[in-house]
């Protein structure tokens, strides 16, 4: 290694560092922090008013039928269920991919599993509409081919359809991080545990599960935040009773054009989402940088 003749490269390119920092600063300050702060400020004013007030936030306890609280609570509950379901469906596949398949077979499976992930979310939702709607493929099979049903049923526009599509849409966001955590687990560790007499359940509990935890956390966070803030799936697949919190926010901004109230709703969503993410990180002993940053 030769480093002698270089006169501290840092000093020579100080202007370079400034130039490097500028785009990042403009981006984070101008496009992220400032707009978010502006929205936060806005949420403390009434429409057209100029005194600071908590009225927008308090209004959620006063609106008819407590609609916001009910929708919000339901969204939160469903989102947690979606994250848990996705974990259950994806985990075995991640394990098989990381620890059972080898070599060429493994590569083929990675490609097979990653490919649908590149397809637009809208198309993935539309695919399920085509399957489940009244004139859809499932009804065709049940009514015209198998003749188990006398007449088509509408399988869309209910909570179960919505859950199925949510899990479908975010499956790979759960699978890939768990896979990469498990892939990093040294195979000899599993073997050592087996040699020491551990049964399958103990191997899973004390070796496999802890090793997969960073991936599980990152998968849960991704699936949770993306379903919580999703607008498409509840709008296209959910029924009238499946109102989602993002639809309420959208209505405030676009239909009722009450931006201040919409901003307050947005921040409640952001606060609760952050709280859940924080809780997940605490629960699993991970950090955001470790989970998302590598």
Residues 24-53 that bind another protein (CB under 8 A): 24-25, 27-28, 31-36, 38-39, 42
Q: Does 268 bind another protein (CB under 8 A)?
A: no
At its nearest, how many Å lie between another protein and the CB of residue 226? 8
Report, in angstroms and rounded to the nearest whole number, the Rg of the chain calculated over CA atoms. 25
At its nearest, how many Å lie between another protein and the CB of residue 240? 15
Q: Is 62 exposed, middle or buried (0-12, 13-18, 19+ CB in 10 A)?
A: exposed
Per-residue burial over 128-152, b if 16 or more Cβ lie within 10 Å, else e, is: beebbbeebebbeebeeeeeeeeeb
Residues 268, 229 contacting (CB under 8 angstroms): no
Residues 180-199 that bind another protein (CB under 8 A): 186-192, 194-195
Half-sphere exposure of 157 (CA within 13 A, CB side): 7
Q: Does 146 bind another protein (CB under 8 A)?
A: no
In the three-class reduction of DSSP (H, G, I as helix; E, B as strand; rest coil), residue 202 is classed as: helix
Residues 190-249 that bind another protein (CB under 8 A): 190-192, 194-195, 200, 203, 221, 225, 228-232, 236, 246, 249
Which residue of 21, 66, 256, 271 would you call a contact of another protein, by CB under 8 A? 21
**Closer Cβ to another protein, 149 or 288, answer by number:** 288
At its nearest, how many Å lie between another protein and the CB of residue 29? 9
Q: Does 279 bind another protein (CB under 8 A)?
A: no
From 22-30, 48-56, 68-76, 155-163, give the range in contact with another protein by CB under 8 A. Answer: 22-30
Which residue of 82, 98, 171, 280 would you call a contact of another protein, by CB under 8 A? 171
Q: What would the two tokens of residue 230 be?
A: 């999703």
Please tell me the distance from the alpha carbon of residue 32 to that of residue 25, in angstroms, as a whole number.
10
- Give rounded-to-5 percent helix, strand, coil for the chain: 75, 0, 25
């Amino acid at each position: 290694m030769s480093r002698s003749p270089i006169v501290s490269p840092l000093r020579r390119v100080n202007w370079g560092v400034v130039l490097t920092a500028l785009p990042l600063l403009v981006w984070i300050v101008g496009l992220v922090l400032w707009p978010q702060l502006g929205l936060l400020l806005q949420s403390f004013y009434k429409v057209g008013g100029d005194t600071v007030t908590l009225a927008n936030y308090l209004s959620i306890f006063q609106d008819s039928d407590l609609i916001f609280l009910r929708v919000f609570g339901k969204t939160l509950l469903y989102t947690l269920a979606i994250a848990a379901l996705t974990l259950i469906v994806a985990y075995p596949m991640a394990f098989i991919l990381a620890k059972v398949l080898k070599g060429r077979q493994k590569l083929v499976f990675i490609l097979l599993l990653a490919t649908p992930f590149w397809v637009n979310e809208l198309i993935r939702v539309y695919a399920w509409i085509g399957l489940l709607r009244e004139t859809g493929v499932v009804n065709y099979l049940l009514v015209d081919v198998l003749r188990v049903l006398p007449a088509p049923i509408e399988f869309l526009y209910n909570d179960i359809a919505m859950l199925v599509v949510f899990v479908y849409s975010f499956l790979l966001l759960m699978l890939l991080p768990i896979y990469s955590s498990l892939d990093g687990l040294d195979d000899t560790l599993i073997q050592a545990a087996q040699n020491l007499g551990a049964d399958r359940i103990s191997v899973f509990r004390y070796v496999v599960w802890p090793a997969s935890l960073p991936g599980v956390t990152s998968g849960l966070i991704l699936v949770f935040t993306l379903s919580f803030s999703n607008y498409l799936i509840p709008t296209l697949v959910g029924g009238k009773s499946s109102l989602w919190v993002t639809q309420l926010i959208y209505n405030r901004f676009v239909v009722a054009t009450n931006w201040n109230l919409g901003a307050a709703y947005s921040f409640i969503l952001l606060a609760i989402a952050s709280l859940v993410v924080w809780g997940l990180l605490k629960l699993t002993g991970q950090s955001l940088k470790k989970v998302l940053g590598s």
